[in-house]
Amino acid sequence: MIEVYCRGNKHIDRSEKELCPSCQSLLDYSSMRVDKCPFMETKTYCANCHVHCYKKDRREEIRQVMKYSGPRMIFKHPLMLLDHGWQSFKDKRRKRIEGRKQKLGEESI
């Protein structure tokens, strides 16, 4: 997604293979955060995680990238986009069901 953002915002032209320095820095940072994530084995995407491990400034940068790249992913990685939507749907459904069970448990007390 960072590559889509970098090329789309003309940080680099289409013939260049590498990202601009600021986008490369963001990619390195996000890769480091994913590598250190204690929940990586059980979670699917960072958006579905209850812990937000990005620094505030980096979080805003990655939001800009996601906002720009998200709609364009249908052209670049359509299956990944569908998987992300499906996983997000399942996660929201699971949380809603857990919330209902918790609410029912509290009412019986």
Percent of the chain with pLDDT over 90: 21
Whole-model pTM?
A: 0.68
CA distances from 16 to 9, 23, 82, 84, 87 (A): 14, 14, 28, 28, 33
Q: Highest mean pLDDT: which of 24-28, 72-76, 88-92, 95-99?
A: 24-28
Q: Are 3 and 68 spatial neighbours (Cβ–Cβ below 8 Å)?
A: no
Q: How many CA atoms lie less than 13 Å away from 88 in the CB half-sphere?
A: 9
Per-residue pLDDT of 42-72, as tens digits, reads 766 777 677 878 888 999 999 999 899 888 8
Per-residue pLDDT of 74-92, as tens digits, reads 888 888 888 888 888 888 8
- Report the pLDDT value the prediction gives residue 21, as an integer from 0 to 100: 92
pLDDT category, 38, cuts 50, 70, 90?
A: confident
